[in-house]
Chain A
Amino acid sequence: DTEVTQTPKHLVMGMTNKKSLKCEQHMGHRAMYWYKQKAKKPPELMFVYSYEKLSINESVPSRFSPECPNSSLLNLHLHALQPEDSALYLCASSSPTRTHEQYFGPGTRLTVT
């Protein structure tokens, strides 16, 4: 199984809402990532978890709060977002080897109104 799943596929939320994005993998990978991708742009790294511990936070605003409950799950909690946060949010995972080849989920298309 080389699949990373993400839910929901689409999400529309207001600026005062609280919502969560979910990501799951069953490949035994111990590194998991959140990326933000705007239209016609490359993915931008937001967070990295390694062995369920947050290892990288790329200066992401606190209205995005990641959580890694176990080695298979990764959440991204959203609160008080801005319209400019509308984007495709991608989750990825990788084996903790030197190569760091990443397997991506299909993404959650987020629209903030």
Chain B
Amino acid sequence: GDSVTQMEGPVTLSEEAFLTINCTYTATGYPSLFWYVQYPGEGLQLLLKATKADDKGSNKGFEATYRKETTSFHLEKGSVQVSDSAVYFCALTRNTGGFKTIFGAGTRLFVKA
């Protein structure tokens, strides 16, 4: 069945460090891939998306590339800030053989000043 696997957290980084959060997926057909961010006490916000192989999604300094050959969609940021502290969810959505949306377990990021 479909699944999304994220690296376990928490991830603790110092300000201005490089961030990578790994995400791999299994899915029927050609899913769209997303990263959502959830700040404490809030709902989820769409961070970036990619809808086909080799697409690169980017927003607010975050990037992720849809890699079909490795079924991956790793999130990266060159220089994190304290305000990036949050939980990050990788997710897929597909419509082949019926609608499905699946979230990874989430990775908590702490950024220290």
Q: Which residues of A contact B (CB under 8 A)?
A: 4, 6, 33, 40-43, 45, 48, 55-56, 90, 92, 98-107
Contact = CB atoms under 8 A, between A and B. Distances in A.
A41 B105 CA distance: 6
Interface of B: 32, 34, 36, 42-46, 49, 51, 89, 93, 95, 99, 101, 103-106
Nearest to B98: A56
Nearest to B89: A42
Chain B contact residues: helix, strand, loop or mixed: strand
B45 A100 contact: no
B46 A99 contact: no
Contacts, number: 54
5 contacts: A43-B44, A90-B44, A104-B36, A106-B42, A106-B43
A101 B32 contact: yes
Nearest to B43: A104
A104 B95 contact: no
B101 A102 contact: yes
Contact of B93 (A4, A42, A100, A106): A100
Given A98-B95, A100-B32, A101-B49, A107 B103 contact: no
A45 to B, nearest CB: 6
A42 B103 contact: yes
A55 B99 contact: yes
A107 B101 contact: no
B95 A105 contact: no
Given A43-B44, A106-B43, A107-B43, A100 B105 contact: no
A41 B87 CA distance: 10
B106 A41 contact: yes
A107 B32 contact: no
Contacts of B106: 40-42
B32 A98 contact: yes
Nearest to A55: B99
Contacts of B43: 4, 6, 90, 104-107
Given A41-B106, A104-B36, 14 more contacts: A40-B106, A92-B44, A98-B95, A99-B32, A99-B49, A100-B93, A100-B101, A101-B34, A102-B34, A102-B44, A102-B93, A102-B101, A103-B46, A107-B43
